[in-house]
Structure formats: structure tokens, C-alpha cells
Amino acid sequence: MAAVISVKNLTYEYNVGTPSCSVALDNVSLDIEKGDFIGLIGHTGSGKSTLVQHLNGLIKPTKGTVYLNGNDIHSDKKATREARFKVGLCFQYPEYQLFEETVAKDIAFGPRNMKLPENEITSRVVKAAMYVGLKKEHMEKSPFDLSGGEKRRAAIAGVMAMEPEVLIFDEPTAGLDPKGRDVILSLVKNYQTQTGCTVILVSHSMEDIARVADKVIVMNKGRVEMYGDVKTVYADCDRLSAIGLNVPQVTKVFSLLKEKGLEFSDDVYTVEQGFNVLSEYLKRRDLND
Amino acid sequence: MIKDITIGQYFLGNSFLHRMDARMKIILTFALIIAIFVCKSIPSLLLMVAITVFLVAVSSVPFKMVLKSIKPIAIIVVFTGILNLFYVTGGKTLFEWSFIHITTKGIFTAVFMAVRIICLVVISSLLTYTTTPTMLTDAIERLLSPLKVFKIPVHTLAMMMTLALRFIPTLIEEIDRISNAQKARGADLDSGGLIEKVKALIPIIVPLFVSSIRRAYELADAMDCRCYVGGDGRTRMKQMKLKGSDFVSLLVTAVLIAGLILLNHYFTKVI
């Protein structure tokens, strides 16, 4: 499949020319294929956020190039602006960007900046609200009257309404309770399966990524440490823990059980999968008895 | 653009000026600023310039940073210079053409004003370069404490100042974050005429206000939780004590200002 975003030898340095100069990204090259759901994981300061801000042209690289569908996004102003619309970026705590009088108007902010016709804007707003599960009665409220979780969903809808080819979420579940986290993750997953667009999910949580992503990029100290499908990357336990990332607790439990001689598969990354594997095992055991 | 703002521009160092008691520093800065406007003869102005240069030299603040503090006022200096040159009359007329008169007094006034403004800005920025914002507000609070007699809430005012200074970097960061988020939604902040540009600021200003108010409430709660009740009965972690060297500086400054006045008195006043 064709790469929708292609990053070549990307280097970014903060505060160039001052004593506090530091390298945030160090010669990063990677291809992101169309239609993939990619998890981007790494420690605080590993360069995750800096990398995703390069992908829609918010940050200009110190060295290297970002190609979107084969075009350099910094070749001219028009290309950069196009990248903004084709690569949607939803920041951490996106609810702090809400500003309009009503939720509907706020979701329409992106499409309106794209200079779309009015009826197209309206239909996109309705569609985006549907994806995030906002009801009709929410749409005419002030965004500041919504609950915390609703605010976040409204803000996510604001990015979805631009209908980008690539949608990037920078830690969309930060600061939410487990239930809120589940809601956001499943709506992101649903959106991806329904529209077939490319999604990049930045997260701290190996378990969250295992639950929704097909591929994983592991970043460490401004470099891409690993890039592959979930199973391959998560199998390399030693390498992950060497850079301070831990495989999900369930995975650990199951690999310990395997060591004890029970026959389990290696690829258990979420509690749900664990539950299925265990109940199957118990069924089998009952049958044998 | 926004990162160029340097308020609370403290420059880390351990010079004589850095160690001086902040209260004394404020008083002496004020005294020197008043003294600047006393200078009316050439020798007294030269002495003032010498004092300024000396202070910069002992402050260990790099010369480049001092220049940076003058840069924003360059336009004001040039503008007042030109105004004085054309509008002040007196002394010998050097040049005359229809409504333009250039006189010796005009030239002197222009030069004096320029030098005075530069000295004033350099001396007052040395104060902020060598004193941390917290020390500064602390000192201001103490200097103003006699006003408590008139029921002026000096402590509260000082606390407000400290908090305002403390939140400048936070707000700058916040503006950066919000404007990135809106740019990601296609907000165009750079092009368009004046009205479009002002309109484009709304998506940044509204969230900024909302989060500032939220932050203020959170801070108030946090202060309440730590039993903050204002200035009454509050003791200090850092006691300010005047040292011998502070009194020596006071004495030296007094002598210099007396010298300025004498130089003014014995030489012809040119403006």
C-alpha cells in the first residue's frame, strides 16, 4: 500500500544557537501507510508530540522533509495549509481550545476555515457529532456548559469535522477515568473502521494501544526505536523494558502462567483478551474432566 | 514573536549589585533617577554617565543585555531628540529657514534628553536584572508597609504583583498551546487585514480567559488549603537585613548626588 505520510531524515532542535539547545528528534525516517491505525508510544520527552506536530506542518524541521502523498509539505505556503486540513491533529486536553458560543459553531470552526459551502459544513458537523456521540440537545448549548467528557468529545468532533485523511490524537485519554477512557478509545476505533482513514494515536499506555492499534511506533530519546505490528513489537519484552516501557500487566501474568506450564498464547495484551483466553481454557478443562 | 518578551528579566549573578539589599537598591535607584533630571551642566551630566557606566561594569550583566533593554526605547529617544531640536529656542540661533529655528539651547536640550532617557532606562533595568522578581516585590511590600497605617492593603498588593509575575511564563506557554491547537484547525493568524487579524485572535483569547479564570480559582483554593489568610501575623522565611556594605553604598550615592548638585551649581547651566 502507498505511504500517505513519509518522513525522511527528520531532525529538530530546540533553542538553536543558545546554551539550552537540545535535540528533540534525531534523524527520524518512517512511512505511514494509508488506512493503518498506528499507536505511537514513548516516554515523556521522547519526541512523540514534536513528531506529530511536524506531520501537519505546525513545526518546521531543522533538517529533513515531511512528504504528504508525495509532496513536501513545506515546499510553499499553500502546501503547508493543505497539510493542516489533510492531517488533523487533536492536541492533549483538546477541551481547552473550545471558544464558540455553541457546540455546533465550535465544531464548524475547522470546516469554515476550509471555506466549504454552508450546507457541506452543516452536514459535516452533524456527522462529526454522531461519531463522538453528542446528541442534538448538546449542539445548541455553550461548550462551557458541557461536562468534562462531553467537552473533550466536542473538541474531538471539531477535528473530525475537517474529515482529514490522517487523524492524529495526542493522548486523547489523558486525565479521564477508566470509563471515559473506554468511551474515547472506542469512538476513535469506530471512526477509523467506518471512514477507513489513517489514525495515529499517541499514548503512554501500552494497553490502550494494544486495544485499538494495528501497528506500533516506539520512540526513545528522539529516535524511532521500534516500528511494526503490535504482536512483533510487544513480543520483544526485554527491549521494551530496557527503555523503561512495560508490557501490560495482563501480558505479564499470562507469560508467568505459561512459564508454569499452562498452555496460553503469547498475544494477550488486554484484560478482555485475557478473559476470553481464560474462559476458553476453563471450558476446555471442564470438557476434559 | 511572543517569546521575545522579557519581563522579570533577572540575570543570575553574584555581583555587588546582586548582593545588595533589595530595599536599598530600590531607594538608591529612585535617588539616581531623580538625580538624572537634576543634571543641567555638562560636567554633571558627564558624572551621571560615568556613574551609569560604572554600575553596568560592576553588575556583571553582559553589555549585550543592557543594549537589549535600550533597543525598545530607541524610537522615543530619537523622537524626543527631534522635537527638542526644533521646538526649544534660546541661546544663539545657528540655522533659520522659514519656521525652522535651530538654536544652541535646542541642540543641548536634545542631547541632554537623549542621554537622560538612556541613563534612566539602563539604571532601572539594572534593578530588574540584578533582583529576582520575588525579592523585588518583597522589598516593595516592606518599603510600602508604613502605608498600612492608612489601611492600604500593602501585603495583598504585593502578593498580587508576585502572582502576576509568576504567571507570565505560564500564560505565554498557554498562548502557544492554544494557538497551535487552533492552527491545527486551520485558523489563519498571519494573513488578512487588521480587522481579520483581530478577529483571528478571538479563538485564542476566549480559551485563554477561560483557563486563566479556572487557574485563578484553583490557585485560590490551593492557598486556602494552606491556610493563607493574608498579611496579618505572617512571619517571613527570608529576613531582610541591611548590611554594612548597603550603608556604604548609601553614603557613596549621597556623596555622588551632592557632587552632581555642586557641579550643576558651579558650571554654566546649558539647558
Residues 146-205 of A with CB under 8 A from B: 158-159, 162
* Contacts across the A-B interface (CB distance below 8 Å): 55
How many distinct structural domains can be found in chain B?
1
- pLDDT tens sequence across B168-184: 888 988 998 999 999 99
Instruction: Report yes or no on B233 lying in a domain.
Output: no
Please give the residue of chain B at the shortest CA–CA distance from A157.
B185
Pairing mode, if any, of strands B100-103 and B93-97?
A: antiparallel
Give the distance from residue B64's alpha carbon to the nearest chain A alpha carbon, in angstroms.
14
Please give the residue of chain A at the shortest CA–CA distance from B202.
A99
Reported as type and span, the H/E element at residue B110 is helix B104-130
Do residues A254 and A279 make contact, with C-beta atoms less than 8 angstroms apart? no
Interchain CB distance below 8 Å, B207 and A113 = no
Give the distance from residue B3's alpha carbon to the nearest chain A alpha carbon, in angstroms.
11
pLDDT in tens, chain A (289 residues): 578 999 999 999 887 766 667 888 999 999 999 999 999 998 888 889 999 999 988 989 989 999 999 889 988 888 888 899 999 999 999 998 999 999 999 999 999 999 999 999 999 999 999 999 999 999 999 999 998 889 999 999 999 999 999 999 999 998 888 888 999 999 999 999 999 999 999 998 888 898 899 999 999 989 999 999 988 888 888 888 888 887 788 888 888 888 887 777 767 888 888 888 888 888 888 888 7
**Cross-chain CB nearest to A113 (options B177, B178, B188):** B188
Grid cell for residue B266: 558651579
Give the distance from residue B68's alpha carbon to the nearest chain A alpha carbon, in angstroms.
16
Give the distance from residue A57's alpha carbon to the nearest chain B alpha carbon, in angstroms.
9
Which residue, B1, B103, B104, B126, is CA-closest to B57? B126
Which residue, A25, A28, A48, A35, is CA-closest to A3? A35
**What residue numbers bound the domain in which B124 lies?**
2-167+238-266
How many other C-beta atoms lie within 10 A of the C-beta of residue B92? 8
Interchain CB distance below 8 Å, A56 and B184 = yes
Q: Is residue A105 less than 8 Å (CB to CB) from chain B? A: no
Grid cell for residue A101: 458560543
Q: Is residue A27 less than 8 Å (CB to CB) from chain B? A: no
Which residue, A66, A80, A78, is CA-closest to A32? A66
Instruction: Report yes or no on B175 lying in a domain.
Output: no
Q: Domain boundaries in chain A? A: 3-246, 248-289
Give the distance from residue A29's alpha carbon to the nearest chain B alpha carbon, in angstroms.
23
Superfamily holding A3-246: P-loop containing nucleotide triphosphate hydrolases (3.40.50.300)
Contacts with A15 from chain B: Cβ below 8 Å: none
Contacts with A88 from chain B: Cβ below 8 Å: 184
Place of cell 498464547: A265
Q: Is residue A234 less than 8 Å (CB to CB) from chain B? A: no
- pLDDT tens sequence across B241-264: 888 999 999 999 999 999 999 998
Give the distance from residue A217's alpha carbon to the nearest chain B alpha carbon, in angstroms.
22
In B100-254 the beta strands, taken as DSSP E runs, fall at 100-103
Q: What is the ipTM of this complex?
A: 0.85
In a mutational test of the A interface, the residue from B12, B185, B191, B217 whose CB has the highest number of chain A CBs within 10 Å is B185
Which residue, B40, B8, B108, B57, is CA-closest to B260? B40
**Cross-chain CB nearest to B181 (options A85, A97, A144):** A97
Grid cell for residue A127: 456527522
Q: Is residue B213 less than 8 Å (CB to CB) from chain A? A: no
Do residues A85 and A114 make contact, with C-beta atoms less than 8 angstroms apart? yes
Residues 182-201 of B with CB under 8 A from A: 182-188
**Cross-chain CB nearest to A84 (options B177, B178, B183):** B183
Instruction: Report yes or no on B225 lying in a domain.
Output: no
Instruction: Report yes or no on B36 lying in a domain.
Output: yes
Q: Rounded to 5 degrees, what are φ and ψ at B45?
A: -65, -40
Q: Is residue B43 less than 8 Å (CB to CB) from chain A? A: no
DSSP, collapsed to helix, strand or coil, labels residue B103 as: strand
Interchain CB distance below 8 Å, A97 and B187 = no
- Angstrom distances, CA of residue B151 to CA of A20, B19, B139, B148, B156: 47, 32, 19, 5, 12
Interchain CB distance below 8 Å, B186 and A98 = no
Residue A192: CA atoms inside 13 Å, Cβ hemisphere, count? 23
Please give the residue of chain B at the shortest CA–CA distance from A59.
B180
Grid cell for residue B242: 541591611
Interchain CB distance below 8 Å, B186 and A84 = yes
Residue B56, classified by CB atoms within 10 Å of its CB into exposed (0-12), middle (13-18) or buried (19+), is: buried
Positions of chain B with pLDDT under 70: 1-8
